[in-house]
Amino acid sequence: MKTIVLSAVLMGLALQSNAQDMLFRAKLEIEDVPELVVTALEEDFPDYTIVEYSAIPVEYVEGDVYINPNIDTNADYDTFEIDMHTASKEVTATYDREGELIKITEHFKNVALPYSVSKSLAKEYPNWKLVKDSYEMVQVGNDKAKKRFRVVLENHGKKIHVHTNEKGKILNHHKRV
């Protein structure tokens, strides 16, 4: 009985998250993306393979975000999100209609950790072995980029997920058995 209830709850959560994605992202073809955005994208990321173009019903006004759920056509979108990748990283770039880069998110897997992160992990989790790691950088406009590392450590069959910033400060951790 517990399995059935748990399965139903997980299925409900999965459907809800998919519905939210559909409300706030509209997949586009390249011909539906403004020419200024396509040109800026080609200049900013010439060696990347485009995975998907999306429009999102938000507007950025002086640093504040406003959601506009009443958009009827592709011509009404002001914000465009492009997912792309190279062999070693995934990038999501958000542009406004004029081709200005609003936000960039980079994601790398299995990178060489900075010394400060390695030192902090070794001090806080002695005798734990690094199993895998990932790096994510988010930059909005001209603000300073936020860099985060997520590592999985293992010790005697137990695993722990640890999140740090680029200076090695441990932000949080989650244990898994």
Domain boundaries, the chain: 110-177
From 171, 175, 172, 165, select the one nearest 117 (Cα to Cα): 165
The correct CATH number of 110-177 out of 3.40.50.300, 3.20.20.150, 3.10.450.360, 3.90.550.10 is 3.10.450.360
Query: Which string of b and e fits 50-84 if b means at least 16 CB within 10 Å?
Result: eeebbbbbbebeeeeeeeeeeeeeeeebbbbbbbb
Predicted confidence pLDDT, tens digits, the chain (177 residues): 444 433 343 444 443 333 334 446 788 888 989 999 999 999 999 999 999 999 887 665 666 655 666 666 566 788 899 999 988 789 999 999 999 999 999 998 888 999 999 999 999 999 999 999 999 999 888 888 999 999 999 999 999 999 999 999 999 888 764
Q: Where are the beta strands (DSSP E) in 18-169?
A: 26-28, 49-56, 58-61, 64-67, 79-85, 89-96, 101-109, 129-140, 146-155, 158-165
